[in-house]
């Protein structure tokens, strides 16, 4: 049996990731593809509950290193599920993943390689769709500023860190400026179809960049 496709949607806060992952899931369903959505952080697991408190309560203090390792541990909580869904031929769509983990923590000043190291060994996406504004439109979007990381200056630093992944083979940048939800959805669908139609190699795992 051919394994499923591991798709990852990434981007800064309020770039429309969640809207687009929902829309991708609907398209996959219509196309007869059995797909599962996993959103990181997955806030309902034991570690995810701690992360949720950290994100929503500024009085809850953690060192940057501890917070980073919890986000990574949260991915390891789901790693076996992701691997086995893929091996069973299911497609898995990730809303944020290792790339957010590394970008947000290295934007705080932690070394990039150190940030990647606890994620080494996790399943690597076949395709990463990085949603990006050329301009910083996301900071003016509704709801921005409610959680810990939603500060314009910090978002700029995160963007710089995300861009360090842009030469990876699986990376596709989706420019969302002045595009409707449907247009962005079409760009994502086209990229997905190209990846899904290719012959699938064995699942890859994160290693050093
Ligand atoms: P959402 O707004 O998408 O729920 O994300 N984050 C996320 C990290 O700092 N490290 C990680 O590993 C992940 C997956 C990004 C909540 C915030 O958590 C940040 C925004």
pLDDT confidence of residue 37: 98
pLDDT confidence of residue 128: 98
Report pLDDT digits (tens) over 125-137. Answer: 999 999 998 866 5
> From the CA of 185, how far away is ligand 1's center (Å)?
22
Report pLDDT digits (tens) over 149-187. Answer: 778 889 999 999 999 999 999 999 999 999 999 999 999
Contact in structure between 6 and 92 (CB atoms under 8 Å): yes
pLDDT confidence of residue 61: 95
> From the CA of 198, how far away is ligand 1's center (Å)?
30
Report pLDDT digits (tens) over 21-50. Answer: 999 999 999 999 999 999 999 999 999 999
14 lines ligand 1 (CB under 6 A): no
pLDDT confidence of residue 136: 63
Within 8 A by CB and 6+ apart from 19, the residues are 181
Mean pLDDT within 142-146? 65
What residue owns the CA closest to ligand 1's atom 11? 101
Report pLDDT digits (tens) over 82-121. Answer: 999 999 999 999 999 999 999 999 999 999 999 999 999 9
101 lines ligand 1 (CB under 6 A): yes
3-state SS, residue 94: strand
> From the CA of 2, how far away is ligand 1's center (Å)?
31
- pLDDT above 90: percentage of residues in the chain: 86
> Binning pLDDT at 50, 70 and 90, where does residue 140 land?
low
Higher pLDDT, 208 or 196: 196
Residue 2 has pLDDT above 60, yes or no: yes
- Of 177, 95, 187, residue with least CA distance to 141: 177
Q: Which domains does the chain have, with CATH numbers?
A: 6-197 (3.40.50.300)
> From the CA of 197, how far away is ligand 1's center (Å)?
30
ipTM of the prediction: 0.98
pLDDT confidence of residue 14: 82
d(C-alpha 43, C-alpha 52), whole Å:
6
162 lines ligand 1 (CB under 6 A): no
pLDDT, the chain, mean: 94
- Of 196, 209, 207, 47, residue with least CA distance to 122: 207
- Of 126, 139, 117, residue with least CA distance to 86: 126
Report pLDDT digits (tens) over 55-87. Answer: 999 999 999 999 999 999 999 999 999 999 999
């Amino acid at each position: 049996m051919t394994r499923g496709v591991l798709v990852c949607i990434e981007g800064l806060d309020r770039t429309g990731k969640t809207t687009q992952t929902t829309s991708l899931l609907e398209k996959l369903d219509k196309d007869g593809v059995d797909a599962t959505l996993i959103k990181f952080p997955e806030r309902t697991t034991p570690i995810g509950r701690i992360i949720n408190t950290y994100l929503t309560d500024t009085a809850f203090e953690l060192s940057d290193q501890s917070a980073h390792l919890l986000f990574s541990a949260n991915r390891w909580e789901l790693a076996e599920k992701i691997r086995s869904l893929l091996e069973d031929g299911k497609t898995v769509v990730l809303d944020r993943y290792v790339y957010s983990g590394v970008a947000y923590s290295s934007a705080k000043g932690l070394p990039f390689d150190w940030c990647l190291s606890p994620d080494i060994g996790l399943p690597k996406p076949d395709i990463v769709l990085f949603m990006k504004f050329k301009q910083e439109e996301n900071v003016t979007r509704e709801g921005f500023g409610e959680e810990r990381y939603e500060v314009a200056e910090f978002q700029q630093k995160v963007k710089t860190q995300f861009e360090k992944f842009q030469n990876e083979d699986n990376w596709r940048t989706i420019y969302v400026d002045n595009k409707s939800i449907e247009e962005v959805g079409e760009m994502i669908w086209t990229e997905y179809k190209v990846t899904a139609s290719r012959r699938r190699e064995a699942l890859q795992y994160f290693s050093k960049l």
